[in-house]
Amino acid sequence: MPNRRQFLTTSIVSAIAASMTQSFPSPAFAQEPKMKNTDIALEMDPARLAYIDEIVEEGIRQEKMPGSVVLIGRRAGIAYHKAYGNLSLKPDVRPMLTDTVFDLASLTKPIATATSIMLLVERGQIDITKPVADYEPDFANNGKESITVLQLLTHQSGLIPDNPIADYLQSADDAFRRLLLLKPVATPGEKFMYSDVNFIMLGYLVKKITRLNVHEFSRQEIFSPLGMTETGYNPSEPLRERAALTQEREGRWMRGEVHDPRAYKLDGIAGHAGLFSTASDLSRYATMLLNKGELSGRRIFKPETIDFMTTPVKVTGGLRGLGWDIRTGYSSQRGDMMSSRAYGHGGFTGTSLWIDPVRDLYVIFLSNRVHPDGKGSVNPLIGRVSTVAVASLQDFQVEE
Protein backbone atom coordinates (compact mmCIF):
# COMPACT_ATOMS: atom_id res chain seq x y z
CA MET A 1 0.00 0.00 0.00
CA PRO A 2 1.39 3.45 -0.83
CA ASN A 3 2.81 5.42 2.06
CA ARG A 4 0.43 8.22 2.98
CA ARG A 5 3.35 10.68 2.76
CA GLN A 6 4.20 9.69 -0.82
CA PHE A 7 3.86 12.84 -2.90
CA LEU A 8 4.85 13.81 -6.41
CA THR A 9 7.93 16.02 -6.72
CA THR A 10 9.24 17.83 -9.76
CA SER A 11 12.03 15.27 -10.25
CA ILE A 12 9.52 12.40 -10.16
CA VAL A 13 7.31 14.26 -12.64
CA SER A 14 10.25 14.56 -15.03
CA ALA A 15 11.25 10.92 -14.65
CA ILE A 16 7.76 9.56 -15.22
CA ALA A 17 7.08 11.95 -18.09
CA ALA A 18 10.28 10.81 -19.79
CA SER A 19 9.11 7.19 -19.59
CA MET A 20 5.89 7.97 -21.45
CA THR A 21 7.22 8.70 -24.91
CA GLN A 22 6.19 5.39 -26.52
CA SER A 23 3.20 5.85 -28.80
CA PHE A 24 0.30 3.41 -28.57
CA PRO A 25 -2.35 2.88 -31.27
CA SER A 26 -5.93 3.74 -30.47
CA PRO A 27 -7.62 0.70 -28.87
CA ALA A 28 -10.48 -1.09 -30.58
CA PHE A 29 -14.02 -0.67 -29.29
CA ALA A 30 -14.30 -2.10 -25.78
CA GLN A 31 -17.04 -4.63 -25.16
CA GLU A 32 -19.46 -4.23 -22.26
CA PRO A 33 -17.73 -5.45 -19.07
CA LYS A 34 -19.30 -8.48 -17.43
CA MET A 35 -20.83 -7.02 -14.29
CA LYS A 36 -21.76 -9.33 -11.43
CA ASN A 37 -24.39 -6.79 -10.36
CA THR A 38 -24.76 -8.20 -6.86
CA ASP A 39 -23.50 -6.47 -3.77
CA ILE A 40 -22.89 -9.86 -2.09
CA ALA A 41 -20.63 -11.08 -4.91
CA LEU A 42 -18.77 -7.76 -4.70
CA GLU A 43 -18.29 -8.17 -0.93
CA MET A 44 -20.45 -5.21 -0.01
CA ASP A 45 -23.02 -5.33 2.77
CA PRO A 46 -26.51 -4.69 1.29
CA ALA A 47 -27.93 -3.71 4.68
CA ARG A 48 -25.40 -0.90 4.98
CA LEU A 49 -25.83 0.22 1.39
CA ALA A 50 -29.55 0.58 2.14
CA TYR A 51 -28.72 3.61 4.31
CA ILE A 52 -28.13 5.52 1.08
CA ASP A 53 -31.90 5.56 0.52
CA GLU A 54 -32.42 7.45 3.76
CA ILE A 55 -29.64 9.96 3.05
CA VAL A 56 -30.80 10.79 -0.48
CA GLU A 57 -34.51 10.86 0.30
CA GLU A 58 -33.85 13.21 3.20
CA GLY A 59 -31.94 15.50 0.82
CA ILE A 60 -34.87 15.54 -1.58
CA ARG A 61 -37.33 16.35 1.24
CA GLN A 62 -35.06 19.22 2.30
CA GLU A 63 -35.00 20.46 -1.33
CA LYS A 64 -31.24 20.04 -1.64
CA MET A 65 -31.88 18.63 -5.12
CA PRO A 66 -34.95 17.45 -7.06
CA GLY A 67 -33.46 14.01 -7.61
CA SER A 68 -30.30 12.04 -8.19
CA VAL A 69 -28.73 8.86 -9.52
CA VAL A 70 -26.27 6.95 -7.33
CA LEU A 71 -23.97 4.26 -8.71
CA ILE A 72 -21.37 2.42 -6.64
CA GLY A 73 -19.01 -0.17 -8.02
CA ARG A 74 -15.72 -2.03 -7.88
CA ARG A 75 -13.47 -3.50 -10.54
CA ALA A 76 -15.63 -6.64 -10.68
CA GLY A 77 -18.90 -4.82 -11.31
CA ILE A 78 -21.70 -2.57 -10.11
CA ALA A 79 -22.97 -3.04 -6.56
CA TYR A 80 -25.57 -0.27 -6.39
CA HIS A 81 -27.39 1.72 -9.05
CA LYS A 82 -30.55 3.62 -8.20
CA ALA A 83 -32.51 6.69 -9.26
CA TYR A 84 -34.31 8.99 -6.81
CA GLY A 85 -36.79 11.83 -7.11
CA ASN A 86 -37.32 13.81 -10.29
CA LEU A 87 -35.24 15.04 -13.20
CA SER A 88 -37.47 18.10 -13.49
CA LEU A 89 -39.94 20.00 -11.33
CA LYS A 90 -40.64 22.78 -13.85
CA PRO A 91 -42.17 23.27 -16.35
CA ASP A 92 -43.48 19.82 -15.48
CA VAL A 93 -42.60 16.99 -13.10
CA ARG A 94 -40.72 14.07 -14.63
CA PRO A 95 -39.27 11.15 -12.65
CA MET A 96 -35.54 10.54 -12.44
CA LEU A 97 -34.36 7.39 -14.26
CA THR A 98 -31.11 5.45 -13.93
CA ASP A 99 -30.22 6.37 -17.53
CA THR A 100 -30.80 10.11 -17.07
CA VAL A 101 -28.21 12.29 -18.82
CA PHE A 102 -26.51 14.92 -16.64
CA ASP A 103 -24.55 18.10 -17.22
CA LEU A 104 -21.31 17.13 -15.46
CA ALA A 105 -20.06 20.73 -15.10
CA SER A 106 -16.49 20.66 -13.67
CA LEU A 107 -16.24 16.88 -13.87
CA THR A 108 -15.35 17.86 -17.44
CA LYS A 109 -11.95 18.96 -16.14
CA PRO A 110 -10.58 15.53 -15.18
CA ILE A 111 -12.72 13.26 -17.35
CA ALA A 112 -12.44 15.03 -20.72
CA THR A 113 -9.61 17.53 -20.50
CA ALA A 114 -7.02 16.11 -18.10
CA THR A 115 -7.54 12.62 -19.50
CA SER A 116 -6.93 13.98 -23.01
CA ILE A 117 -3.80 15.78 -21.83
CA MET A 118 -2.50 12.60 -20.18
CA LEU A 119 -3.02 10.66 -23.39
CA LEU A 120 -0.90 13.26 -25.18
CA VAL A 121 1.71 12.93 -22.40
CA GLU A 122 1.74 9.16 -22.91
CA ARG A 123 2.22 9.65 -26.64
CA GLY A 124 5.12 12.04 -26.10
CA GLN A 125 3.27 15.05 -27.51
CA ILE A 126 3.25 16.99 -24.21
CA ASP A 127 5.80 17.26 -21.41
CA ILE A 128 3.90 18.73 -18.48
CA THR A 129 7.07 20.13 -16.89
CA LYS A 130 7.56 22.45 -19.87
CA PRO A 131 6.09 25.94 -20.21
CA VAL A 132 2.72 26.28 -21.89
CA ALA A 133 4.42 28.76 -24.21
CA ASP A 134 6.43 25.89 -25.74
CA TYR A 135 3.15 24.71 -27.26
CA GLU A 136 1.45 28.10 -27.72
CA PRO A 137 4.04 30.90 -28.13
CA ASP A 138 1.34 33.59 -27.91
CA PHE A 139 0.85 32.60 -24.26
CA ALA A 140 4.30 34.01 -23.41
CA ASN A 141 3.33 37.52 -22.32
CA ASN A 142 2.26 39.51 -19.27
CA GLY A 143 4.17 37.31 -16.80
CA LYS A 144 2.98 33.93 -18.12
CA GLU A 145 6.23 32.91 -19.80
CA SER A 146 7.21 30.36 -17.12
CA ILE A 147 3.77 28.84 -16.39
CA THR A 148 3.94 25.09 -17.01
CA VAL A 149 1.33 22.59 -18.11
CA LEU A 150 1.71 20.98 -14.67
CA GLN A 151 0.77 24.26 -13.00
CA LEU A 152 -2.40 24.46 -15.11
CA LEU A 153 -3.32 20.86 -14.20
CA THR A 154 -2.82 21.47 -10.46
CA HIS A 155 -4.28 25.00 -10.33
CA GLN A 156 -0.96 26.61 -9.42
CA SER A 157 -0.60 28.85 -12.46
CA GLY A 158 -1.56 32.05 -10.68
CA LEU A 159 -4.27 32.72 -13.28
CA ILE A 160 -7.58 34.23 -12.24
CA PRO A 161 -10.37 31.76 -11.37
CA ASP A 162 -12.72 33.25 -13.99
CA ASN A 163 -12.07 36.05 -16.43
CA PRO A 164 -14.99 38.40 -17.19
CA ILE A 165 -17.94 36.97 -19.08
CA ALA A 166 -17.59 39.99 -21.35
CA ASP A 167 -14.45 38.33 -22.76
CA TYR A 168 -16.70 35.65 -24.26
CA LEU A 169 -19.37 37.75 -25.91
CA GLN A 170 -17.87 37.92 -29.40
CA SER A 171 -16.64 34.60 -30.80
CA ALA A 172 -14.77 31.57 -29.49
CA ASP A 173 -11.64 32.71 -31.34
CA ASP A 174 -11.87 36.17 -29.79
CA ALA A 175 -12.35 34.62 -26.34
CA PHE A 176 -9.14 32.61 -26.74
CA ARG A 177 -7.23 35.67 -27.91
CA ARG A 178 -8.31 37.45 -24.73
CA LEU A 179 -7.36 34.39 -22.68
CA LEU A 180 -3.83 34.48 -24.10
CA LEU A 181 -3.46 38.10 -22.92
CA LEU A 182 -4.40 37.51 -19.27
CA LYS A 183 -1.99 38.41 -16.48
CA PRO A 184 -1.40 36.16 -13.45
CA VAL A 185 -2.93 37.45 -10.24
CA ALA A 186 -0.50 35.41 -8.12
CA THR A 187 3.08 34.26 -8.63
CA PRO A 188 3.00 31.08 -10.74
CA GLY A 189 3.81 27.96 -8.75
CA GLU A 190 3.33 29.50 -5.31
CA LYS A 191 -0.40 29.29 -4.63
CA PHE A 192 -3.21 26.81 -5.22
CA MET A 193 -6.11 28.73 -6.71
CA TYR A 194 -8.89 26.72 -8.34
CA SER A 195 -9.42 28.23 -11.78
CA ASP A 196 -11.67 27.52 -14.75
CA VAL A 197 -9.22 29.52 -16.84
CA ASN A 198 -6.53 26.85 -16.30
CA PHE A 199 -8.70 24.21 -17.92
CA ILE A 200 -10.04 26.42 -20.67
CA MET A 201 -6.39 26.86 -21.60
CA LEU A 202 -5.73 23.11 -21.37
CA GLY A 203 -8.66 22.46 -23.68
CA TYR A 204 -7.15 25.01 -26.04
CA LEU A 205 -3.83 23.11 -25.94
CA VAL A 206 -5.56 19.88 -26.95
CA LYS A 207 -6.82 21.59 -30.09
CA LYS A 208 -3.50 23.35 -30.73
CA ILE A 209 -1.57 20.08 -30.64
CA THR A 210 -4.06 17.66 -32.25
CA ARG A 211 -6.16 19.99 -34.47
CA LEU A 212 -9.20 18.43 -32.80
CA ASN A 213 -11.16 20.27 -30.14
CA VAL A 214 -11.49 18.63 -26.73
CA HIS A 215 -14.91 17.27 -27.71
CA GLU A 216 -13.64 15.60 -30.88
CA PHE A 217 -10.42 14.31 -29.34
CA SER A 218 -11.96 12.91 -26.14
CA ARG A 219 -14.76 11.22 -28.07
CA GLN A 220 -12.42 9.70 -30.64
CA GLU A 221 -9.56 8.67 -28.38
CA ILE A 222 -11.20 8.01 -24.98
CA PHE A 223 -14.98 7.70 -24.89
CA SER A 224 -15.55 5.69 -28.07
CA PRO A 225 -12.80 3.17 -27.26
CA LEU A 226 -14.31 2.79 -23.78
CA GLY A 227 -17.80 2.22 -25.17
CA MET A 228 -19.06 5.40 -23.51
CA THR A 229 -21.71 6.06 -26.15
CA GLU A 230 -23.72 8.48 -23.99
CA THR A 231 -20.82 10.77 -23.05
CA GLY A 232 -19.81 13.95 -24.87
CA TYR A 233 -20.44 17.61 -25.46
CA ASN A 234 -23.62 19.05 -26.99
CA PRO A 235 -25.64 15.84 -26.68
CA SER A 236 -27.85 14.65 -29.53
CA GLU A 237 -31.61 15.15 -29.45
CA PRO A 238 -32.37 11.62 -28.08
CA LEU A 239 -29.91 12.21 -25.24
CA ARG A 240 -31.25 15.71 -24.56
CA GLU A 241 -34.71 14.21 -24.13
CA ARG A 242 -33.32 12.10 -21.27
CA ALA A 243 -31.39 14.98 -19.67
CA ALA A 244 -32.03 16.40 -16.22
CA LEU A 245 -33.09 20.05 -16.33
CA THR A 246 -30.98 22.75 -14.71
CA GLN A 247 -32.16 26.37 -14.85
CA GLU A 248 -33.84 28.87 -17.18
CA ARG A 249 -31.80 30.89 -19.65
CA GLU A 250 -33.02 33.19 -22.40
CA GLY A 251 -36.62 32.22 -21.73
CA ARG A 252 -36.14 28.44 -21.88
CA TRP A 253 -35.29 25.61 -19.50
CA MET A 254 -31.85 24.15 -20.06
CA ARG A 255 -32.14 20.46 -20.93
CA GLY A 256 -29.03 18.95 -22.46
CA GLU A 257 -27.61 22.46 -22.85
CA VAL A 258 -24.52 23.40 -20.87
CA HIS A 259 -25.26 25.35 -17.69
CA ASP A 260 -21.86 27.06 -17.36
CA PRO A 261 -22.10 30.52 -18.95
CA ARG A 262 -18.57 30.61 -20.38
CA ALA A 263 -18.81 27.14 -21.88
CA TYR A 264 -22.16 28.20 -23.36
CA LYS A 265 -20.50 31.17 -25.06
CA LEU A 266 -17.81 28.78 -26.36
CA ASP A 267 -20.48 26.87 -28.30
CA GLY A 268 -20.83 24.31 -25.52
CA ILE A 269 -17.29 22.96 -25.88
CA ALA A 270 -14.64 23.95 -23.33
CA GLY A 271 -11.93 22.42 -21.18
CA HIS A 272 -13.56 23.35 -17.89
CA ALA A 273 -17.25 22.45 -18.47
CA GLY A 274 -19.67 21.17 -21.08
CA LEU A 275 -19.42 17.38 -20.79
CA PHE A 276 -22.62 15.32 -20.41
CA SER A 277 -22.88 11.69 -19.37
CA THR A 278 -24.83 8.98 -17.55
CA ALA A 279 -23.93 7.04 -14.43
CA SER A 280 -23.47 3.83 -16.43
CA ASP A 281 -21.01 5.46 -18.81
CA LEU A 282 -19.05 6.96 -15.92
CA SER A 283 -18.84 3.51 -14.33
CA ARG A 284 -16.95 2.33 -17.42
CA TYR A 285 -14.50 5.20 -17.09
CA ALA A 286 -14.03 4.58 -13.35
CA THR A 287 -13.50 0.86 -13.89
CA MET A 288 -10.81 1.63 -16.46
CA LEU A 289 -9.00 3.80 -13.92
CA LEU A 290 -9.23 1.13 -11.20
CA ASN A 291 -7.87 -1.38 -13.73
CA LYS A 292 -4.85 0.87 -14.36
CA GLY A 293 -5.91 1.87 -17.85
CA GLU A 294 -7.65 -1.29 -19.04
CA LEU A 295 -11.29 -2.20 -19.62
CA SER A 296 -12.56 -5.59 -20.71
CA GLY A 297 -9.14 -6.70 -21.90
CA ARG A 298 -8.61 -3.52 -23.93
CA ARG A 299 -5.79 -1.21 -22.88
CA ILE A 300 -6.60 2.50 -23.02
CA PHE A 301 -3.62 3.82 -21.03
CA LYS A 302 -0.39 2.41 -19.70
CA PRO A 303 -0.54 1.72 -15.94
CA GLU A 304 2.20 4.32 -15.40
CA THR A 305 -0.04 6.99 -16.90
CA ILE A 306 -2.82 6.29 -14.39
CA ASP A 307 -0.30 6.31 -11.52
CA PHE A 308 1.17 9.56 -12.82
CA MET A 309 -2.23 11.21 -13.08
CA THR A 310 -3.38 10.24 -9.60
CA THR A 311 -0.26 10.48 -7.42
CA PRO A 312 -0.65 13.30 -4.87
CA VAL A 313 0.95 16.63 -5.65
CA LYS A 314 1.57 19.06 -2.78
CA VAL A 315 -0.19 22.38 -3.21
CA THR A 316 -0.81 25.13 -0.70
CA GLY A 317 -3.47 23.85 1.67
CA GLY A 318 -3.62 20.26 0.47
CA LEU A 319 -3.05 17.67 -2.23
CA ARG A 320 -4.11 17.51 -5.87
CA GLY A 321 -3.70 15.03 -8.70
CA LEU A 322 -3.23 15.97 -12.35
CA GLY A 323 -6.74 17.26 -12.96
CA TRP A 324 -8.10 15.54 -9.84
CA ASP A 325 -8.81 16.66 -6.31
CA ILE A 326 -7.30 14.51 -3.54
CA ARG A 327 -7.54 16.43 -0.30
CA THR A 328 -8.20 20.17 -0.33
CA GLY A 329 -10.98 22.49 0.73
CA TYR A 330 -12.96 21.10 -2.22
CA SER A 331 -12.90 17.49 -0.94
CA SER A 332 -16.02 17.27 1.22
CA GLN A 333 -17.53 14.79 -1.25
CA ARG A 334 -14.85 12.15 -0.55
CA GLY A 335 -16.39 11.17 2.79
CA ASP A 336 -14.61 10.16 5.97
CA MET A 337 -13.26 6.68 5.26
CA MET A 338 -11.65 6.73 1.82
CA SER A 339 -7.93 6.01 1.72
CA SER A 340 -5.19 8.60 1.32
CA ARG A 341 -4.89 7.58 -2.34
CA ALA A 342 -8.53 8.34 -3.19
CA TYR A 343 -9.08 10.97 -5.86
CA GLY A 344 -12.13 12.59 -7.36
CA HIS A 345 -13.88 15.76 -8.42
CA GLY A 346 -17.21 17.51 -8.24
CA GLY A 347 -19.28 19.66 -10.54
CA PHE A 348 -21.26 22.84 -9.85
CA THR A 349 -24.51 21.31 -11.10
CA GLY A 350 -24.43 18.68 -8.33
CA THR A 351 -22.23 15.92 -9.72
CA SER A 352 -19.39 13.90 -8.24
CA LEU A 353 -17.05 11.00 -8.98
CA TRP A 354 -14.64 9.64 -6.36
CA ILE A 355 -12.36 6.66 -6.91
CA ASP A 356 -10.39 4.80 -4.25
CA PRO A 357 -7.77 2.41 -5.69
CA VAL A 358 -6.81 1.11 -2.24
CA ARG A 359 -10.42 0.19 -1.41
CA ASP A 360 -11.17 -0.90 -5.02
CA LEU A 361 -14.22 1.37 -5.03
CA TYR A 362 -15.83 4.16 -6.97
CA VAL A 363 -18.80 6.33 -6.00
CA ILE A 364 -20.81 8.22 -8.64
CA PHE A 365 -23.41 10.75 -7.53
CA LEU A 366 -25.26 12.71 -10.20
CA SER A 367 -27.89 15.34 -9.51
CA ASN A 368 -29.25 18.57 -10.92
CA ARG A 369 -29.14 20.43 -7.64
CA VAL A 370 -29.35 23.79 -9.46
CA HIS A 371 -32.90 22.99 -10.66
CA PRO A 372 -35.10 24.95 -10.60
CA ASP A 373 -33.70 28.02 -8.81
CA GLY A 374 -30.00 27.36 -8.22
CA LYS A 375 -30.42 27.01 -4.45
CA GLY A 376 -29.74 23.30 -3.95
CA SER A 377 -26.72 22.01 -2.03
CA VAL A 378 -25.39 18.46 -2.15
CA ASN A 379 -21.67 18.29 -1.28
CA PRO A 380 -22.07 17.24 2.39
CA LEU A 381 -24.77 14.77 1.33
CA ILE A 382 -22.42 13.23 -1.25
CA GLY A 383 -19.78 12.89 1.46
CA ARG A 384 -22.25 10.91 3.58
CA VAL A 385 -23.03 8.61 0.64
CA SER A 386 -19.31 8.03 0.09
CA THR A 387 -18.81 7.19 3.75
CA VAL A 388 -21.63 4.63 3.64
CA ALA A 389 -20.12 3.10 0.51
CA VAL A 390 -16.78 2.53 2.23
CA ALA A 391 -18.47 1.28 5.41
CA SER A 392 -20.32 -1.31 3.28
CA LEU A 393 -17.10 -3.01 2.19
CA GLN A 394 -16.83 -6.41 3.83
CA ASP A 395 -13.09 -6.48 3.13
CA PHE A 396 -12.50 -3.01 4.61
CA GLN A 397 -9.17 -2.60 6.38
CA VAL A 398 -7.81 0.43 8.18
CA GLU A 399 -5.05 2.01 6.12
CA GLU A 400 -1.58 1.69 7.64
Does residue 53 surpass a pLDDT of 90? yes
- Length, in residues, of the chain: 400
Q: Is residue 23 part of a domain?
A: no
Q: Is residue 399 part of a domain?
A: no
pLDDT of residue 264: 97
pLDDT of residue 400: 61
**What predicted TM-score, i.e. pTM, was given to this entire model?**
0.91
Report, as an integer, the average pLDDT of 225-232. 97
Q: Is residue 60 part of a domain?
A: yes
Identity of residue 135: Y
Q: Is residue 6 part of a domain?
A: no
Report, as an integer, the average pLDDT of 38-54. 86
Report the phi/psi class of residue 223: left, alpha or beta, with left for phi > 0 and alpha for psi in -120 to 50: alpha
- The pLDDT confidence band at residue 40, using thresholds 50, 70 and 90, is low
- Per-residue pLDDT tens digits for 22-31: 333 333 323 3
The CATH number given to whatever domain includes residue 311 is 3.40.710.10
What SS3 class is residue 390?
A: helix
Q: Is residue 5 part of a domain?
A: no
- The pLDDT confidence band at residue 17, using thresholds 50, 70 and 90, is very low
The total domain count for the chain is 1
Burial code (b: 16+ CB inside 10 Å, e: under 16) for 38-72 equals: ebeebebbeebbebbeebbeebbeeebbbbbbbbb
Q: Is residue 396 part of a domain?
A: no
**Contacts of residue 250, Cβ cutoff 8 Å, sequence gap at least 6:** none
Q: What is the CA radius of gyration of the chain?
A: 20
- Per-residue pLDDT tens digits for 238-265: 999 999 999 999 999 999 999 999 999 9
Note down the domain range covering 290: 36-391
Burial code (b: 16+ CB inside 10 Å, e: under 16) for 303-318 equals: eebbbbbbbbbebeeb
Instruction: In whole angstroms, give the CA distance from residue 398 to residue 307.
Output: 22
Q: Is residue 364 part of a domain?
A: yes
Q: Is residue 7 part of a domain?
A: no
